[in-house]
Amino acid sequence: MTGTEASESTPVRLSVTDAVATITIDRPHVRNAVDRTTAMAIEQALDEVDSRDDIRVCVVTGAGGIFSAGMDLKAFNESGERPIGTTRGGFGLVERPSVKPMIAAVEGKALGGGFEIALACDLVVAGSSAQFGLPEVKRGLVASAGGVLRLPQRVSRAVALGILFTGDPISADRAAELGLVNEVVADGAALAGALAWAERIAANAPLALRAVKQIADSSPDWASGESFTRQRPIADAVRASQDAAEGAQAFVQKRVPVWQGR
């Protein structure tokens, strides 16, 4: 296991165990609200995740039983500071998440930017009393860190606009009904649940995982008549890889494949 400890100047912890990285926002004294320093730390952690071949999946969570209250409104009010990274946009990830599968482990409240961070992830595991919401309109703001853009892609337009127009939160169970949450677990078990998902995912071929995410993220922008043509070079590169040959050989030999990411 490797890791970095959070500190006052770098309030984010990164740990890696068995091909799974865990990024923890560690500012519980402000409900894990994100200021610019924190956004930059998240961005740097994701840069490391993407650069390391030994990492296949990334879990994002918050310390102290709360995911994130979103933007640090105190910092915004005092200096106009916004939590925007240099290369990955708001909260250090919403414009350019990791190229690897990302799982949000949500306890407590994921409001505003906290919900937008979760929406930037591929899967969500939530504690039973978790809440999700985009209350920006209640503060004279717009959920511009992916909330208005991503939510209507995940649920029906009417449901998305109901959440966006009212600013009212929804429960974990309701989020699961809407398809926004993959699994609801007991309070306090979200991280363990997310890590269980991550372990199952990390057992699979890393090149294939990245290709699946690339196609799933890119294909909504492809013209329907071009979809298979646009998909082909991505899938063909995986099919021609050493990992594909290893997968077939391991199946024939009835053993666990040993992936090389090549």
Active-site positions read: 116, 136
CA distance 4 to 7: 9
Stated as kind and residue range, the H or E segment containing 185 is strand 183-185
Query: Can you tell me which residue has the tokens 């030999």?
Result: 253
Q: What's the full length of the chain, in residues?
A: 262
Under 8 Å between Cβ of 130 and 186: no
95 Cβ partners below 8 Å, 6+ apart?
88, 89, 146
What tokens does 102 get? 């990302």
237 Cβ partners below 8 Å, 6+ apart?
207, 211
Q: Which of 38, 53, 67, 63 is nearest to 100 (CA)?
A: 53
